[in-house]
Amino acid sequence: MAARTSKKIRPRYPRDLREFISRLEDTGNLYRVTRRIEKNTELMPLVRWQYQGLPDAQRKAFLFENVVDGQKSFQCRVAAGVLGASREIYQMALGAEDGQVAERWADALSRPIKPRIVRSGPVKEVVLKEGEIGRPGGGLDLFPVPISNPGFDGAPFLTAPYVVTKDPETGVPNIGTYRMMIKGRDKTGMSISPAQHIGIHFHKCRLKGIPLQAAVVLGCTPAVGLASVTKAGYGQDEYAVAGGIAGKPIELVRCETVDLEVPAAAEIVLEGEIPTDYMEPEGPFGEFTGYIGGKMMNGVFNLKCVTHRREPILQMFTEGVPSESGVIRKMGYQSAIYKLLKYDCNIPSVIDVALHESSGSRKLVVIRMRKTNPAQPWQALQAAVALDPSHGKILIAVDEDIDPEDADAVNWALSFRMQPHKDVKITTHKFAGLDPSAAPPDTPHGEVRFPPPTGCSAIMIDATRPWPYTPVALPGKKYMEEAKAIWEKLGLPPLTPKEPWHGYSLGHWSKQNEEEAEMAAGGDYLKVTQRLEKAGIKT
């Protein structure tokens, strides 16, 4: 009788942020900081050091348990890096195995699970209405919101707010992550881009002459946070997408003062309204581009009610290049593009998609494919550039032997697998998406977002081989493997091979070529030269 193989069981998906933080600690992926940490000058610089000084595999999440503002202490902890300090942490948050992130996302987007309304939950442990919010120390003053870039940012910003709004016509909710500048105990800024789904809701409410109701979720089950950041189609309920990630319905409770629902096990929820007939400057703030963004006109959020768990945890993202938000955007956006191309646009030759963190995980898109006809790279490039008006500035299609994550490999393909006059196309009418190259810093905000007359642009490059090539110029695989064994016996430094690490055929290599190469490697290279002599001609 054949031995029975054990089936690997996926761990139960975490119900809330606290359960996931415990899982991070159990797996050695959490720093728990108990010493006093000043929220404006120490907290985020400490977190940022791991992005400036450690490789991805060594980064961890942080939980600060003793946060102060001068002499003021808070009954609130701060968590950072809990969704994307590293790719390993992101995979844990998604419930995905290594190498299965794109397919896990494709499954969640294709098989959403509707949320379930429940009567109450932990987020209702403390309920504070307008009278209590306005008191000294109340409202947003209850929470130790740190300054992300002390020395440059104009105020503390909420960097991981999952902002819930509804389409006023269809009632379908949207969850998006839009940074919010703290402007008082009952007021924040609200970044509203016309290209984002909240911008569509804002525009529809403005036409109706009504404010846009909003609920801001600060910390909850990772599935909601991942769905908030990733690009789902307009009109798709991100709560259902989050259910697809979790494999079960997300439990929601109704808000106290606005017609919206929020996760029952959320840490903190801010309820309020965004006026649609008023905007004011917000910033400066360190943006995803890696540069400080100047003051810009944005919406405002007027706080009406706060609900939270006892001793809540305030979740924060780091922004910039590199950063936690860069990892989260990268892993989610590239998975959304992968699904679009491979499954929705019927391009089965797409192998994977990579967004480079150095481009803010938005601007540089590399599509790896095993093309079967010359039209497929352009089908993929044009579909990807159309997905979002502010995403995708440099889009490159490469062959299956090019690692899309490796800038050196991509540069190799760009250098020797395309010709600019026939393999490059430029398209216009793109949004800037905070790209500082779009216009000088003092340009009016509307012109920065969409410089007249045709906005910003994107370049698409087919860097796939146009015909069969001669082999890659490296020793053959068996020779490299034999040499590696000798290397290790000699006790030389551990190797971390990157593709390509051996030569291989790219189609233009005959049986005679193979034979002569083996003859040379076997020491019979003079026989090869004799063949060459016979083929000589007088000139």
| 18-50 confidence digits (pLDDT tens) | 999 999 999 999 999 999 999 999 999 999 999
Mean pLDDT in residue range 486-501 = 93
* Cα–Cα distance, 22 to 27 (Å, whole number): 9
- H or E element at residue 514: helix 511-521
345-462 matches 17-316 in CATH topology: no
| Among candidate residues 238, 12, 22, 258, the one with its CA nearest the CA of residue 115 | 238
Distances (CA, A) of 331 to 54, 317, 396: 19, 15, 18
Q: Report the pLDDT value the prediction gives residue 442, as an integer from 0 to 100.
A: 86
pTM of the model: 0.90
Mean pLDDT in residue range 122-137 = 93
Q: Report the pLDDT value the prediction gives residue 193, as an integer from 0 to 100.
A: 86
Does the domain made of 17-316 have the CATH classification 2.30.110.10? yes
* Cα–Cα distance, 352 to 334 (Å, whole number): 8
* Cα–Cα distance, 303 to 257 (Å, whole number): 10
Q: Report the pLDDT value the prediction gives residue 4, as an integer from 0 to 100.
A: 38
Model confidence at 1: pLDDT above 70: no
Model confidence at 370: pLDDT above 70: yes
- Tell whether the torsion through CA atoms of 395, 400, 405 and 408 is positive or negative: negative
Rounded to 5°, angle at Cα 108 from 103 and 114: 170
Beta carbons within 8 Å of 390's beta carbon, 6+ residues apart: 193, 195, 362, 430, 431, 432, 433
* Cα–Cα distance, 327 to 94 (Å, whole number): 13
For all residues of the chain together, what is the average pLDDT? 94
Mean pLDDT in residue range 151-173 = 96
* Cα–Cα distance, 194 to 431 (Å, whole number): 9
Residue 35, CA atoms < 13 Å, CB-side half-sphere: 5
Q: Report the pLDDT value the prediction gives residue 405, as an integer from 0 to 100.
A: 95
Distances (CA, A) of 77 to 84, 135, 318: 19, 22, 16
* Cα–Cα distance, 339 to 318 (Å, whole number): 27
Question: Which string of b and e fits 163-198 if b means at least 16 CB within 10 Å?
Answer: bbbbbeeeebbbbbbbbbbbbebbbbbbbbbebbbb
Model confidence at 2: pLDDT above 60: no
| Among candidate residues 65, 57, 64, 63, the one with its CA nearest the CA of residue 89 | 57
- Cβ atoms < 10 Å from Cβ of 347: 20
7 vs 232, higher pLDDT: 232
CATH class of 345-462: alpha beta
- In the chain, what are the domain boundaries? 17-316, 345-462
Q: Which residues is 285 bridged to in the sheet?
A: 293
Task: Tell me the pLDDT tens digit for each residue of 392-427.
Answer: 999 999 999 999 999 999 999 999 999 999 999 999
Q: Report the pLDDT value the prediction gives residue 9, as an integer from 0 to 100.
A: 52
- Tell whether the torsion through CA atoms of 29, 33, 39 and 42 is positive or negative: negative
Contact present, 82 and 17 (Cβ < 8 Å): yes
| Among candidate residues 317, 396, 392, 404, the one with its CA nearest the CA of residue 359 | 392
* Cα–Cα distance, 83 to 99 (Å, whole number): 17
Q: Report the pLDDT value the prediction gives residue 7, as an integer from 0 to 100.
A: 44
Model confidence at 5: pLDDT above 60: no
* Cα–Cα distance, 326 to 319 (Å, whole number): 7
Distances (CA, A) of 20 to 14, 123, 227, 344, 517: 6, 17, 16, 32, 56
